[in-house]
Amino acid sequence: MKKVLALVLALAMLLGMMSFASAEGDKVKLKGLFIAHPLTKSVYDMNWLMEIEEKAGVDIEWEQIYTDWDQIKTTRFAAGDIPDILINATGDSDYTTYDGLFLELTDLIDQFAPNIKAMFEEEPDTLALAKTFEGNIYAGPKFQGKWPDCNGVMFINKVWLDNLGLSVPTTLSELKNVLIAFRDNDANGNGDATDEVPMDFNGWFGGAYSLTNLIGSWGIQLVNWGSDAYFAEGGQIKNYAVDERYKAMMTYLADLYNEHLINENAITNDYSMFQSLSRGDADGNALVGVVLGWEETDKFGPVLYEQYVPCGPFVDDVDELATSEPRWTYDFSGLNMSSNRIAISAKCENPEAAVKFMDCFYDPEVSVQVLFGSISEGNVSKVGDDHYKVEDPPAEANTDNGTWKWTSTFADNGPMYIRRATVIDMAKDMAFALNEREQYKEAIARIDMDNEYYPQFLMKYTVDDQNTLATKQAAITNVTDSWWGIWLTGEVEVEDTWEDYLADVEAAGLSDVLAIRQAAYDAWKAQ
């Protein structure tokens, strides 16, 4: 009996091993590349990713690159040295520069990617984003439809206002008067009337935290930061850097700078210096009165954030170009969509398996984990059907929600489709970010979506047009940035040099760039 039992057990073990080997052998072997944020842990430690590999029946050998990808990829792409799957690794120009290197996905998505098809149908801008000028699709985009309508919030120190008996300003003249009060009085109450910085900023044209955000006070509707000053008005593409309203804004800002109301080091400070100043001094005193940022705890730290409230947009009451309906930058598309999240090599030997795996990222539950981290690891909990809660990091992690997200998962660098209908109970930082932007709902609601919505990253161009834009925009930006600096600091007067400046911008090629952008905008509208 013992011999028979031993034989049965051995046979069972052998059959189990054969079954396991068979299951492992049935998996499609693929190679993958992920260009990661510097904080992001190994992909092999992400439970959600291992789970979708299992679900898709693939076994992926991953390569994870953290730095210098822009330099590395030129050599690798030129040599055709790419894996089957590439995440966060490609750009629009790569598909023309390295023609034939990447798989055209239109038919494969139609056959094997129901989640991506649903995204294209339900969020048509994602399809426009995914297509090249010729109408091909070489990469899947992302849609994370829970981010707010705008990127930058202008914060003001409410404690300083209360200390000085002032209200939150609502007009440009009131803003100046408040900044003067911050400059001339010991607003933070530490006994030193010289350490207050009335207003700070970071970045030049198009920056999310640049003072160019104030252009909305003159009625110009911007859509997405990083737009090089282009905007749509009445269906026409314009550049506010040559608009009389920009001239008025620069005159106003130069006056503030001349009155020592703007941080004189802002032009040269990098982002880390910009953040550090907002976190106050070693004794816990706030140092900045008015400043732009993403979210209050991120901007001011875990203690000082309670002193700040959102402000703006400000009604223009300082010149003849006044409008009673100020605008604020509308960033929903830029914050919630990105192109080129996941591409596939044209040399992939099993494209069907690769596309099915690709589609797994766009599953409703997986998408939440791509952005916030694994359910099984405690980053996210499932509350109910299509309802999730983003958890706080454990105390022993000694980190904040945003850092934990970037450490734990692909975060914003991943392919995903988070549906508008999905309910997500956000962590404290995002809950604050969404609540702060209630300040701008009325201003953003003024946008005419038919004639003022200009998401330039959705525009498509021929290779020749791309080359023209790259060359001439660089020349234009060089002019506008240079004049911005010398105007703001008062090296020359705006009024005295405006015509010379306009001539310089035109000589750099503005008319040609506007014509190309107008044609692309018209084609997108027609589509």
Give the HSE-up count for residue 288: Cα atoms under 13 Å, Cβ half-sphere. 31
SS3 annotation, 132-157: CCCCCECEEEEEECCCCCCCCEEEEE
2-147+334-425: CATH class:
alpha beta
Within a 10 A sphere around the Cβ of 467, how many other Cβ atoms? Answer: 12
Q: Can you give the residue ranges of every domain in the chain?
A: 2-147+334-425, 153-218+240-333, 456-526
Q: From CA 224, how far away is CA 453, in angstroms rounded?
A: 10
Looking at domain 153-218+240-333, which CATH architecture does it have?
3-Layer(aba) Sandwich (3.40)
Determine the residue type at 435: N
153-218+240-333 has the same fold as 2-147+334-425? yes
Over residues 431-466, the pLDDT tens digits come to 999 999 999 999 999 999 999 999 888 999 998 999
Show the CA angle centred on residue 210, arms to residues 209 and 216, nearest 5°: 100
Q: What is the pLDDT at residue 34?
A: 98
Nearest-angstrom CA–CA distance, 15 and 3: 18
Average pLDDT, the chain: 93
User: Residues of the chain whose pLDDT is less than 50?
Assistant: 1, 4-5, 8-10, 12-23
Q: What pTM was computed for the model?
A: 0.86
Cα separation, 376 vs 454, whole angstroms = 40
Count helices and strands in the chain by DSSP H and E runs: 21, 15
Q: What pLDDT was estimated at residue 397?
A: 85
DSSP string computed for 196-248: -EEEE---STT-TTSGGGGGGGGT---BSS--TTEEEETTEEEEGGGSHHHHH
Among residues 244, 252, 245, 249, which one has the least CA distance to residue 176? Answer: 252
Residue with tokens 């591409």: 343
Give the separation between CA 343 and CA 504, rounded to whole angstroms.
41
